[in-house]
Structure 1
Amino acid sequence: MSYVFTRRFFVTAFILLLSACTSVPKMPGDAYSKAARDYLYGLQLWHFEGRLAISSPKDAWSANADWRHSGNSENLNLSGPLGQGAVAVELADGVVKIDRGGGNVQSSDQPERFISQQVGLFVPLESLRFWVVGLPDSAQDFQETTDGFVQAGWLVEYKTMQKSAGQVMPQKMIVSKDRLKLKLIIDQWDLQGFK
C-alpha cells in the first residue's frame, strides 16, 4: 500500500513540476488594458538598452542595441563587443541615415529598401518602432496570436514581459518572416517622466 501511495505521490509531483516549467508567460493581450495601450501609443519619448540578434539562411549577427525614440525620430545605435563595429541608424520624417563612423554617412528617403540594400536583409524599421513597445503598427491591420500578433506577414512574439515605470513592457521578443528571425532582449527601459 505504501509503495502505491509513494509512486502516485512522485508521479503527481513530477507532473506538477513539468507543468510549472511550461507555464505560458503573460503576453501583451493579457497585460495591456485599453488605457495602457493608449498611453503607449501616445508615448513621445522612450529609450531602451538591450541585445539584438538577426539570422537568415545566408547570414547571422548580433549586437548591443541602444534605441531612443523621440516624437517622429528613431535613433538606433548598434555595436559589437567593446563598442567595435558601431553603426548608428537614424530615421526621421521618412528619411533614414546610416553612420558607420569615420565620416561614412549614407541616407535615403526609402528607409526599408535602403536598410535591405545595406545589410542584405529586409527589416520593417517603421513598424518595429511600435512592435518593440508591444504594440501593432497603428497604420496596418493585424491578427492577434497567443504570444502577440501577425502584421504585414511578420509574426511578432513576446516571450517575456517586464515592468518599467508602472507599465508592462517587452523584455524578450522574436520577430520573424519566412526564414528571417530577429530576436531582441531588452535589459533596461527608460519611460520615467515621458508622455
Structure 2
Amino acid sequence: MQRCLSIIGLLATVLLTACSTTPELPSQPYLKSERSHLYALQQWSLEGRLALSAKQDSWSANMAWQHQVDNEQIKLSGPLGQGAVLIRLSKDQVVIDRGGKNVQTSAEPEQFIEQQLGMAVPIHSLRYWVVGLPEPGMAFFETAEGFKQGQWLIAYKEMQSVGKQIMPRKMTVMNGQLRLKVMVDEWSLNDIKAN
C-alpha cells in the first residue's frame, strides 16, 4: 500500500510538472548589429498592449499599429474596445480621432501628443524603436539590452521569431519622467506573420 501511494505521488508530480506552462519560443537576445536591414522594411503591423506611467498618471491600452512609409496608424483601446482612439501620423502632421466628430489635427505631433496625454512621448522615434532600431540620423549608445538615444533608454526584454526575423516582444522605453512598456502579441511584416 505504501509503495502504491509513493508511485501515485510520483506520477502526480510528473503530470503536474508536464502541465506547467513554458514559452512557445525561447527568448532571443537583442543584437543591434543584426537589425540594420529592417530600415528597408516598408510595411508592418503589430497587435499588443502598452502601459504608460509617469509620476502624475498611468494608463494601459490594447494597441494595433499599422506602418507604411511616412504613415502610421495607431489604434488604442480599453477592454472590449471601449474608449478607442485612432492616431494617424504622417510626416509632420498628427490626427487624433476619438470617434464621432471628435477629431483633432496638429502640425506639431510631439507637442500635440504631450498636450493630449499630459506626458511627452517620442512618437517619431517610437516608430523605429518598436521594431528594434535607433532613429536614423540621431546619435545613440548601445547597452546590454538595447540602446540609449537622446534622453531615452530603450530596453528589449524579450525578442521573438517572426518568419526569418527576430522582432521585439517585450520592450521598455524610459527616461526620468516616463516609462512606456510595450508587449507585442502578433507581428505582420509585409506578408510574414507570426504570433
**TM-score > 0.5 by shorter chain:** yes
User: Does 1:164 find its partner at 2:162?
Assistant: yes
User: Does 1:41 find its partner at 2:43?
Assistant: no
Cross-structure match for 1:58: 56
Unpaired runs of at least 5, structure 1: 1-24
Structure 1 vs Structure 2 CA RMSD:
1.3
User: Does 1:119 find its partner at 2:117?
Assistant: yes
Q: Secondary structure at the match of 2:119?
A: coil
Amino acid at match of 2:88: E
When the two structures are aligned, how many residues end up with a matched partner? 166
Cross-structure match for 1:90: 88
Amino acid at match of 1:27: P
After superposition, give the CA deviation of every residue in 1:86-145 in whole Å (9 maximum; x if it has no partner): 000000121000001111000111100000001101000000000000000012110000
Equivalent pair of 1:27/1:148 in contact (CA under 8 Å): no
User: Does 1:29 find its partner at 2:31?
Assistant: yes
Amino acid at match of 1:127: S
Q: How many Å apart are 1:28 and its aligned residue?
A: 2.4
5 Å-filtered alignment, 1:168-187, equals 168-187=166-185
> Which of 91, 94, 105 matches 2:103?
105
> Which of 140, 151, 157 matches 2:149?
151
Q: TM-score normalized by structure 2?
A: 0.82
Q: Secondary structure at the match of 1:112?
A: helix
Equivalent pair of 1:75/1:91 in contact (CA under 8 Å): yes
Q: Secondary structure at the match of 1:126?
A: helix
Unpaired runs of at least 5, structure 2: 1-26
Q: TM-score normalized by structure 1?
A: 0.82
Give the fraction of aligned pairs with identical amino acids, expressed as a percent.
49
Distance 1:86 1:165 in 2: 30
Cross-structure match for 2:137: 139
1:170 and 1:68, CA in 2 relative to 1: closer, same or farther beyond 3 A? same
Equivalent pair of 1:157/1:174 in contact (CA under 8 Å): yes
